[in-house]
Amino acid sequence: MLVYLFQVMIIFSVLYMVYQWMFSKLTFHVLNRNILLAIVPLSLFIPLLTQLVPPIVYPIEEIPQLFEHITSITTTQVAPSIDQTLTAAPFNYLALLKVIYFLGVGMCVFRFAMSIYRLCILKKQSTPINSQGQVLYEAPISDVFSYFHWIFLPQGVVYDPLIIMHEKAHGQLRHTIDILLIELYIAFFWWNPLVYVYRKALTSVHEYQADQYVLQEDVKTSDYLQLIATSLEIKKPHQLYSYFNTPILKKRIDMMTKKTSHHRSKLTYFLVLPMCALFLIAFTKPIIENSIVHDVVQKIENIDVIQEIASTDGVPSFAFPVEGSSKQQITSFFNVNRKNPITKKSKIHSGIDIRAALGTPVIATADGTVFLSREVGAWGNIIKIKHQDDYETWYAHLKSFNTNYGKSVKKGDVIGYVGSTGNSTGPHLHYELKHYKKSMDPLPYFDQ
């Protein structure tokens, strides 16, 4: 959810800044209004529409989680504080962020609902009057404003017909619907400061449209500008309503006196289309090829024994993986039920652990091809080699590598060095043997 909200914020912010840079000074008010309104659904749906774009195929080796809890693998005693560090539960910052986010949403929605409720109360307290075929409402307010087709006037005050015409234009152009939709959007994205600047830009376009509507009714521009000049007392307007007297009076005057933009400028609006296409590509999720490796230990939760192959006939022979070492150095055997030091749950050990000094050479136990050689979370530095007949060997917690992805190795080649990377409490090698992705006990297959 947080990733989605962040993606929406990025798209919204970029598109709005493009509007502000390229379109806000143009006199095409209908186009500007449509562009501003389109930013909201585009920002909401582009992250959800990335499935329509052909996915980017990217081969990824997925390694299951591994928690090693090795003791007595060196002559020096491992400090018990390491286990205590592993068991400490980290503070859940994501949960805190979600709480803060939903508190903000709740406050914004409550304020939005209260504004509509107060308007309904004001409507009941108002006195309807008929003026030139238009129903107006006298109410205990300080300034004229409109909401949908309702036009509210202060009690006992006579307003110029041009002001009433201006407010009537807001109703006919359905500006209130825009404002309500934007207020709901702001309620869910209150933490993005650009949404408040965006709201001001949209209400400015509303005023430009209403002014243009009045001037098209055989009204002299000079008379209308004079009326605006006499309305310089600016009050803080309510965000849900449309006012004649707004804090953007100077911008309205500038826009009315500005020369009409050339029609060729409309071509610049098409730049929004390639930008949306770029966003679709940017947020397209890669898919994983069929080279994913699944850990059988995590797939069979209620099975006590990992599947083994009983017969060793016709299988490759494997060397012992640590140079100069033997089975006597194994500290943890295959198929042993061990407690996970993180979750405190018991897990079946899917390989063997071999203690050795830091930097001891690790060798390839059979001929094959390296298909993974990198650092992977709890496994630390890990090498995986594919052998004939779908056999695989895994070598984890290495200090460093002596081979790379795609390299062919021979039995006995040094491929890395014993280390203690990943979730490990001391230098050792975690070694696994798999056949058709099934974990096996490697002991019966060693040469020695």
CATH of the domain at 313: 2.70.70.10
Is there a domain that residue 403 lies in? yes
Task: For residue 367, tell me if it sits in a domain.
Answer: yes
Condensed to tens digits (0 to 9), the pLDDT of residues 318-369 reads 999 999 888 889 988 888 877 765 556 777 888 999 999 999 999 999 999 9
What is the model's pLDDT at position 400? Answer: 92
Residue 362, strand partner residues? 322, 416
| pLDDT per position as a tens digit, 186-213 | 999 999 999 999 998 998 899 888 888 8
* Total number of domains in the chain: 1
Residues in the chain with pLDDT values less than 50: 57-60, 62, 69-88, 234, 243, 287-312
Q: Which residues pair with 400 in a beta bridge?
A: 417
Domain of residue 350: give its range.
Answer: 296-445
Nearest to 12 by CA among 285, 187, 198: 198
Question: Residue 3: inside a domain, yes or no?
Answer: no
Question: Which residues have CB under 8 Å from 101's CB, separation 6+?
Answer: 2, 5, 191
Residue 62 in domain: no
Residue 390 lies in a domain: yes
Q: Is 29 exposed, middle or buried (0-12, 13-18, 19+ CB in 10 A)?
A: buried
Domain contains 327 = yes
Measuring CA to CA, which residue among 371, 373, 375, 448 is closest to residue 412?
448
Residue 58 confidence (pLDDT): 46
- Which residues lie below 8 Å from residue 359, measured CB to CB, with a gap of 6+? 399, 417, 418, 419
